[in-house]
Amino acid sequence: MTEPLSRRAVLALGAAGAGSVALGAIGLHAQGWPPFGGERRDPAPGAAWTEPSVIESRDGLLELELRAALTEVTIAGTTARMLAYNGSVPGPTLHLRPGDRMRVRLVNDLDKPTNLHTHGLLVSPDGAGDNPFLSVGPGEAFDYDIELPDDHPPGVFWYHPHRHGLVADQVFGGLYGAIVVDSEDWSEQAPRVVVVSDTTLSRGQVSDVSPMDRMQGRIGETVLVNGNVAPLLTAAAGSSERLLIINACVSRYLDLDLGDREMTVRGFDSGVFTPPLARKRVLVPPGGRVDLDAPVTETATDLVARAYDIGNMGMMMGSGAGPADATLLTLAPGETAGLAPSPGSSAASSSPRDLRDSSVDGARTLTLAMGMGGAGMRFLIDGRTFDGERTDHRVELGTVEEWTLRNTSPMAHPFHLHTWPMQVMSTHENPVDVRDVVDVPAGEEVTVRIAFDRHSGRTVYHCHILDHEDLGMMGVVEAT
Ligand SMILES: [Cu+2]
């Protein structure tokens, strides 16, 4: 790993950017929405709906300080010591516009290195941008400077640490928050931010996990929605709630089921379906997001994440029992807890580039595999584990490539590419399905097309079962 900044350099940067700390405080602007703001109530199953506080950009700029620290937080109806951004789990929601600049001072009050990844944003991976090779040591700070292109697509994204080797532990510990990019005015019409995570708490702190759990991909015992267990979301019967759902779980797939009701899927990740798709089940792999409308009727219903079998490590490594069903939230008729948006927003006007008819400048196959070796299972892409000094694939800026993602292992792996979205080519019924996390089921292959445009630079692709990423299932791509 590169350690590009010494503590002294960081302090010097800090002096130059001293204003950003104060500005960060001003930027921490609590809106009238959501109704409870950032206040932490005492949540319990069926608890009132809460959402993280929202920080909005102003005049094209969002500045804030994000302090990562072990903090006592109110979570799942109790208190626990977790890793938190600015003292809350999830961290604040960042609401951005296309063309915005985001200046984030990440302060590391942890006892291990960390960094910051703006998952899914179409921004530069270089320098002080969305750079996965940075490492910010304990007691250090780093000033990120991230610019969104003017034509950045709308969508729901998220931020979390990406320091190789520590990512799963830090996300499991509580370090994640939502990013929403749109051109909408939330004071008039606000979607619901639904940050889904899981963790395991024991005696007031986050449990350690075994090497076996890491190889299988850890599944937390407690599933949280905005830090609560199965909160109650009420709205007028006959309306619908627009949910921006983020799967911030380390390894858990969310197989969404709203009982006998159909959900209206506006899009996954930064992709938009025109028209939206009606679906009774919606699969959101780890790291993925979905933007959907859920109908509210006269009777309450649960939004459930059904147990989803991704396969396991095989006979040699144990049974690898999968997760159980988990109720994410209850949708019930009642007083509108806030502002119920109506379907058909401006989001549909910004369709992603369709690559189906593009000429393809290059084709490659990336093989996701598992094999025995060393102390246990090895997690491989193209037969190798991650080496940040090595560049695995070089592509030419401005080209379109077709990548075949081949999974020869007995488990599904959700494949995430930074910086450049992927258009899934093998989805026949969804004409333009653009994602940054593409699930590759066990023993199968998926073909995607990627336009290497907007940004040059060097970044990573990896399995978004974050334990697998930490175990080396990651590679480096550079576009020049
Ligand atoms: Cu994996």
Q: Hey, where are the domains in the chain?
A: 7-187, 196-342, 362-479
pLDDT tier at 185 (50, 70, 90 boundaries)? confident
- Helix and strand counts by DSSP (H, E) for the chain: 5, 33
Could you tell me the distance, in angstroms and rounded to a whole number, from the CA of residue 409 to the centre of ligand 1? 9
Tokens of 61: 């700029």
Could you tell me the distance, in angstroms and rounded to a whole number, from the CA of residue 73 to the centre of ligand 1? 30
Q: Which fold has domain 196-342?
A: Immunoglobulin-like (2.60.40)
**Which range is least confidently modeled, 80-84, 96-100, 425-429, 454-458?**
425-429
Pairwise pLDDT comparison (15 vs 70), residue with the higher score: 70
Could you tell me the distance, in angstroms and rounded to a whole number, from the CA of residue 472 to the centre of ligand 1? 10
Could you tell me the distance, in angstroms and rounded to a whole number, from the CA of residue 295 to the centre of ligand 1? 34
Could you tell me the distance, in angstroms and rounded to a whole number, from the CA of residue 170 to the centre of ligand 1? 17
Could you tell me the distance, in angstroms and rounded to a whole number, from the CA of residue 118 to the centre of ligand 1? 20
As a whole-number percent, the residues of the chain with pLDDT over 90 amount to 76
Report d(CA 108, CA 67) in Å as an integer: 6
Could you tell me the distance, in angstroms and rounded to a whole number, from the CA of residue 480 to the centre of ligand 1? 28
Tell me if the domain spanning 7-187 has CATH number 3.40.50.150.
no
Is pLDDT at 113 greater than 60 in this prediction? Answer: yes
Could you tell me the distance, in angstroms and rounded to a whole number, from the CA of residue 211 to the centre of ligand 1? 15
Could you tell me the distance, in angstroms and rounded to a whole number, from the CA of residue 462 to the centre of ligand 1? 8
**Which range is least confidently modeled, 3-17, 128-142, 353-367?**
3-17
pLDDT tier at 22 (50, 70, 90 boundaries)? very low
Is pLDDT at 12 greater than 80 in this prediction? Answer: no
Could you tell me the distance, in angstroms and rounded to a whole number, from the CA of residue 412 to the centre of ligand 1? 7
213-255: pLDDT as tens digits: 999 999 999 999 999 999 999 999 999 999 999 999 999 999 9
At 172, is the secondary structure helix, strand, or coil? helix
371-399: pLDDT as tens digits: 887 777 899 999 999 999 999 999 999 99
Could you tell me the distance, in angstroms and rounded to a whole number, from the CA of residue 463 to the centre of ligand 1? 5
pLDDT given for residue 188 in this prediction: 77
Report d(CA 136, CA 104) in Å as an integer: 13
Are domains 7-187 and 362-479 of this chain identical in fold? yes
Check: CB of residue 228 under 8 Å from CB of residue 194.
no
Report d(CA 143, CA 116) in Å as an integer: 10
Which superfamily, per CATH, for 362-479?
Cupredoxins -  blue copper proteins (2.60.40.420)
Could you tell me the distance, in angstroms and rounded to a whole number, from the CA of residue 475 to the centre of ligand 1? 13
Could you tell me the distance, in angstroms and rounded to a whole number, from the CA of residue 39 to the centre of ligand 1? 36
Q: Which helix (H) or strand (E) holds 21?
A: helix 18-27
Could you tell me the distance, in angstroms and rounded to a whole number, from the CA of residue 28 to the centre of ligand 1? 36
pLDDT given for residue 478 in this prediction: 98
pLDDT given for residue 350 in this prediction: 57
Alpha carbon separation from 33 to 24, 40, 455 (Å, rounded): 20, 14, 34
pLDDT given for residue 456 in this prediction: 97
Could you tell me the distance, in angstroms and rounded to a whole number, from the CA of residue 323 to the centre of ligand 1? 16
Q: Which residue has the tokens 């516009």?
A: 97
Could you tell me the distance, in angstroms and rounded to a whole number, from the CA of residue 441 to the centre of ligand 1? 10
Check: CB of residue 412 under 8 Å from CB of residue 439.
yes
Could you tell me the distance, in angstroms and rounded to a whole number, from the CA of residue 284 to the centre of ligand 1? 15
The residue type of 451 is A
Tokens of 125: 């991976």
pLDDT given for residue 57 in this prediction: 96
pLDDT given for residue 186 in this prediction: 86
Could you tell me the distance, in angstroms and rounded to a whole number, from the CA of residue 473 to the centre of ligand 1? 7
27-63: pLDDT as tens digits: 223 322 222 333 333 344 568 899 999 999 999 999 9
